[in-house]
Structure 1
């Protein structure tokens, strides 16, 4: 398996995986399949550029997982970055793919000047994801109650942070 940063030429594979993610685990994303399915490829390509860094896991040249690291752009928040859209195809879950993706994103965050904190939000009942994030030192600092609503059902999100040491 290869983990690498995605670029504009990966947009089609990324978009296909993104749409799969929105259909497979709609509760894990703030956006929906219906909202994104007709996005032009140029919009998807722009997602793969600064201040976003998207990392993909490839197995035999097939994209099977992604994670996005987004640096805050406001001056007062420039010491922060966010982890978004962690997704691994169901066939490849439980094999350490998400762990390798998260490791790549965190390592890259360490290379970004001034980043001191990483934030993420995870659906509260996603036990395996919360376990993974805690194994990387993320700690819950709050609960966003009823953060997501799908077909009348609410989902809470745990808000998590990891402080980076640059020593």
Structure 2
């Protein structure tokens, strides 16, 4: 069995990306934030633009030789107030490729990419509560369930990124606040 390779997708991958994404939407419509009709109606040029990596978004693909078998996107929020968060989205593994580690490799690639962005503090995702394979994958990659009830059958999960420099800075702030003396009037 050939090794699976993971790399960021580029506009040249547009045909394979579109085909696999449409297959995912057809198989698991509740797991995607779009419909098959809406996605299939997008012009290829617009989809190719989505595949252009930017400072706010990157889409990874897993390949079995030359065949695209799995997808995962990472989108960083551009608004300054929430610039420390990113979303893992559009994760899909083709049925014939499941159980081979492609999903784990994609999620790990997204986490590694997120860790390289100093401002990011956490990655969030939504997953269908009945998608046990995805829940197992995300839990195995370090994600935890958020403390909010499931809405529309979707669970919210998050992964706090390791940031030792920020953690020590936060503890220094706590220490300063803890030792602050307030005079009584």
Q: Helix, strand or coil: the match of 1:112?
A: coil
Alignment match, 2:13? 10
Q: 2:69 aligns with which of 54, 64, 74?
A: 64
Runs of 4+ displaced beyond 6 Å: none
* 1:16-95 aligned within 5 A: 16-49=19-52, 50=54, 51-95=56-100
Q: Deviations over 1:22-51 (max 9, x none)?
A: 111112112110111121011101212322
Q: Output the CA distance in 1 between the equivalents of 2:40 and 2:30.
A: 17
Q: Deviations over 1:119-164 (max 9, x none)?
A: 0000001111111111111111123422xxxxxxxxx100001100
State TM-score, norm by structure 2. Answer: 0.82
Q: Helix, strand or coil: the match of 2:158?
A: strand
Following TM superposition, by how much is the alpha carbon of 1:64 offset from its aligned partner in structure 2, in angstroms? 0.3
Following TM superposition, by how much is the alpha carbon of 1:109 offset from its aligned partner in structure 2, in angstroms? 0.5
CA RMSD in angstroms comes to 1.0
Q: 1:161 aligns with which of 158, 164, 168?
A: 158
**Comparing both structures, which one devotes a greater share of its residues to strand?**
1
Structure 1 residues 53 and 98: alpha-carbon distance in aligned structure 2, compared to 1, 3 A threshold: same
Q: Helix, strand or coil: the match of 1:143?
A: coil
Q: Aligned pair 1:138/2:135, yes or no?
A: no
Q: Output the CA distance in 1 between the equivalents of 2:150 and 2:98.
A: 26
Q: Helix, strand or coil: the match of 2:74?
A: strand
**Comparing both structures, which one devotes a greater share of its residues to helix?**
2
Q: Output the CA distance in 1 between the equivalents of 2:15 and 2:40.
A: 12
Structure 1 residue runs without a partner (length 5+): 147-155
Q: Aligned pair 1:115/2:112, yes or no?
A: no
State TM-score, norm by structure 1. Answer: 0.91
Larger radius of gyration: 2
